[in-house]
Structure 1
């Protein structure tokens, strides 16, 4: 865990605290006052605030912050699968496990750490995990806050098995928005997508921008590495940069499904939108000793 590029500046800090259930959390603050909070429950970013204290991630008022429940909001990490398959719980087990702070992470490129405050986390499978998914791995996650207040997640997954394995992954990012009817997404034009509301049938996006009038649950395939979410009412744009994550999940439960979710408020669908950097359609296969790297960086642009 490092305070990179700001050792002499006391305003930049890495602080370890505990939540009400005794689970450790790491709070990152950059010199300008932007902050991020990461829980070791799921290795999950729960908060990302601007230097003015404006919260950019949505978390439900009914979220459950205690394993074995996943936390409804922030950025859950869906690994080693997205969706339902076999014995694994929905979206895999990484978001429900207790991670540890990695005090001896492998060296990363200087360009990745310059001017950032960050924490390194580590997940290894338990004996119970190996019973349901019999593959040994090391999942290293670096969560960092840049000097400009961007939030970045860098994942490195290594196969320490004696045989290959395959996985899918998604950073299931809950963005805080003014009103779902006031938001549009650009960067998905002309892409094929799998519609989970139509038995994963494949369609092609026809619109110039994606807007919202009802429930949506889609996986857009082979997207560009930059996606933008425009929030007209708040006059701000989220920009998603991604590497190693070819797909994009877009999800909003809308009114009827919201009422069926115990850890989600009936009207909260209006103020959140999930847009995920993901690798889903073509699972990633690692040979013994191989490592995969994926990166997501979120930034905010204000407009006049």
Structure 2
């Protein structure tokens, strides 16, 4: 899939392979050697590697790669609900469905196409989906890898129903970290959050940065569009930029809960951290014909990078 021509062929930089269930997955590459893998199972990004081949997303060694079970790791898409608060399965059904390639996507902004290797996917509800959530929609997802190695996900949900509907949403991003005890998050200071470990009670963040000493499961409300996750040992900083996603989820199960999860190794909580761009507190409501867009951009900077540069 590599071309020796002077002009880099971004379409040709997409390779199609099959996983061990026979489901298509797409490997995006950039000229420097960075890559991202996207599966039709859940429309899920399962891998994101830098130009040195280092994996930047966490996937559990015990992850179950068999539909309709969701995969533990990568970036599952939580839609049309986040959590376990409604009649649907936890985090909704989108992450468990087989998506299709969107051969005729409506045009995006030119900046979201130019100079990128990308794949467009589409999810429409089945009759079975509509029994549990009786709404008609089109969910379009573009996953892009930029020339700089950034990973971009753009989700567009359109209401093709005859009546309004509401949903919550999250890019449930599993970042790979060296040691959760050595990680800190900047950009969420002083914000209110809902604590899922305390019946969603509302608190205000008191720390100068978020650090980890025990289980954490929080939804930070009205969060900035830029968040930094600093990994001291690996000397790198994940920078999360988001649009249309007012909330941010921070989750690590710690040791006790990890031991109760069949698809997570007992000690693997130390190498993972979920920081999600999300819309949870105030569900998104679409009238017939309306469309919502949620955009996430992940990049990695050297460890000297800090939140003072983020325009928070």
Alignment TM-score, normalising by the size of structure 2:
0.94
Distance 1:114 1:7 in 2: 17
Q: Report the equivalent of 1:97.
A: 97
Stretches of 4+ aligned residues off by more than 4 angstroms: none
Q: Distance in 1 between matches of 2:186 and 2:7?
A: 40
C-alpha separation in 1, matches of 2:105 and 2:13:
19
Aligned-pair CA distance for 1:114: 1.4
Q: Distance in 2 between matches of 1:7 and 1:244?
A: 37
Structure 1: unaligned runs, 5 residues or longer:
none
Structure 1 equivalent of residue 37 of structure 2 = 37
RMSD: 1.4
What is the CA distance between 1:10 and its match in structure 2?
5.5
Q: Which runs of 5+ in 2 are unaligned?
A: 305-312
For residues 6 and 107 of structure 2, what CA distance do their matches in structure 1 show?
18
- Residue matched to 1:284: 284
Q: Aligned to 1:118, what secondary structure does the other structure show?
A: strand
So what's the TM-score if we normalise by structure 1? 0.97
Alignment-derived partner of residue 229 in structure 1: 229
Measure the CA separation in 2 of the matches of 1:252 and 1:13. 34
User: Would you say 1:262 and 2:262 are equivalent positions?
Assistant: yes
Measured in 2, the distance between the counterparts of 1:303 and 1:269 equals 22
What's 2:163 paired with? 163
Partner of 2:60: 60
Distance in 1 of aligned mates of 2:265 and 2:178: 16
2:7 maps to 8
Name the structure 2 match of 1:75.
75
Q: What is aligned with 1:142?
A: 142
Cα distance in 2 for residues equivalent to 1:142 and 1:29: 15
CA distance in 2, matches of 1:110, 1:87: 39
Query: What is the SS of the residue equivalent to 1:181?
Result: helix
Between 86-95 and 56-65, the greater mean CA deviation after superposition: 86-95
Contact (CA 8 Å) 2:246, 2:278: kept in 1 or not? yes
CA contact (8 A) 2:188 2:220 kept: yes
What residue in structure 1 maps to residue 187 of structure 2?
187
CA contact (8 A) 2:164 2:286 kept: yes
1:124-176 deviation per Cα after TM superposition (whole angstroms, max 9, x unaligned): 00000000000000000000000000000001100000000000000000000
CA distance in 1, matches of 2:239, 2:24: 29
- Post-superposition offset of 1:219: 0.2
Structure 2 Cα separation of the partners of residues 103 and 283 of structure 1: 30
- The C-alpha deviation readout for 1:172-214, integer Å capped at 9, x for no partner, is 0000000000000000000000000000000000001000000
| TM superposition shift of 1:7 | 9.2
Structure 1 residue 22: Cα displacement: 0.3
Distance 1:7 1:98 in 2: 37
1:111 match: secondary structure: helix
The answer on 1:112 being equivalent to 2:112 is yes
On the 8 A contact 2:77/2:95 being kept in 1, the answer is: yes
